[in-house]
Chains A and B, each alone.
Chain A
Amino acid sequence: MDEQLRHELGRQGIFVTTLEELYNWGRKNSLWPLGFGLACCAIEMIATSMARFDLARFGAEVFRPSPRQADLMIVAGTVTKKMAPQVVRLYNQMAEPKYVIAMGACAISGGPFKQGYNVLKGIDRYLPVDVHIPGCPPRPEALLDAFMALQQKIAQQSLTGEHRPRHLRADVPGEFPVPVFGAHDLQPPSNPQVWSAPQMRRGEGA
């Protein structure tokens, strides 16, 4: 519909929308995060939900203690290799549609602990991450920005056609394989469905 005409109709007291917009508007304003934190980023996440930064403005203040009731996973902190299978399992237990925010340097790449033998080098090796937030830890403003980015992403999802989201496609599974503890590392070390090392060549110059 023509944006100009819609605006004009709105001024006359006629509200015009599509089912898709209404559906996405409802979804993006009631993102319920899963209440769990892994490290110091969780403190910033908690601060974001409190009065000063007030996550409730975005309809996301209801931190759920059960993955069954949550539709947003904020991976806040260092994911150790011992913890990674549990994080993937929690994600699998969440109902579709579900989203992931990787919060902080550790969750996106391993951060300052990247060279540690026990640290997973980014949760995106096992889970499809929607928004990455850099920072160590990111301030609450950064988390709010990630929320707004995610809301925009949800608002732009079309419910039909080739690019419809995963939860509307029967052929795409919503569960991801849980890595198992191996003798030297997690097996597999990453999920090739969601992650492959970026192809970049060094020494080519700009």
Chain B
Amino acid sequence: MPLLDIKNLTLEIDTGTQSIKALDKINLTVNSGEIRALVGESGSGKSLIVQAIAGATPPNWTITADRMSWSGNNLLSMSEQQRRQILRKDIGVVFQNALASLDPSVTLGEQLEESLPDQLVEGNWFWQRKQNRRKVVVSTVHKVGIKDHEHYLRAYPHQIPTDIGQKLMLAMALISQPKMLIADDPTRGMETTTKVQVLKLLSRLNQTRSLGILFVSHDLLAIASMSDTMTVLYCGQTVESGKMKNIRKRPLHPYTKALLDSAPSFTKDLPPKSELPTLAGTIPTLQHLPIGCRLGPRCPRAQRDCVNVPAVRKIHDHSYSCHFPLHRDKS
């Protein structure tokens, strides 16, 4: 049974004069013990999905979905109270831009202690509970790779460097021992050694605690090394999804191919200083989305049919939506 199951999620933003379909029929499932990567460039709606799952939506957004369930329970028909309880207990969220999501007026130690649920603290008397709470916080901080806990737990968010903030955000999400972790770009801007550290921590938790992870990022190198399955988004549409292995070996959608080509480490026989293959043009803004397949204007294989939204097609576990997929002309 999948932990998180989303079918045909559509998110509309009402701007007053018009309503924009920021997400268009997104399908996404995360099984327990699975690392699912959600890949897409900025403006593709990755963070919107995260916000929709977390329920942190402004009043002018309308979310409709055929199915959006958390281990069998429908998230959309739930009361605010129940939903918040699930979020508190079972889902840990690492938001993008860690330093901005931390409370600027409270020290990091206090914030961490606050996000630790009471039932996870041992002891009957308040002094024991206080000590144990501190102990759990310190051990979690060590686990995410911050050594100098004395200094950082006493600091305020503006006093710490970004990568420490990102790690602390991760600690805050993990401290309540969730079943699933939603990590929105947890390794952005990190240098390689720190990044590897964080990725190792995540895959270890995935193996030991069978933690389901929704890993949202555009860093393909990081994703390829740890995730089992991948979903590629472009401008609010699901482009391709399936096993990481299959997609890497044989992408079916032109956009996925362009994305894989953009990381020079993947292509083995690339002569140094040669031109990297890439898509022309830029990512369209939400106000000026093209009709039909949203990749249309940038796609090298676009034809007349592309003004209609392509249906989702499936080959085993591998689903894609394109009128002219890449495997057609090989056979």
A binds B: no
Residues of A within 8 A of B (CB): none
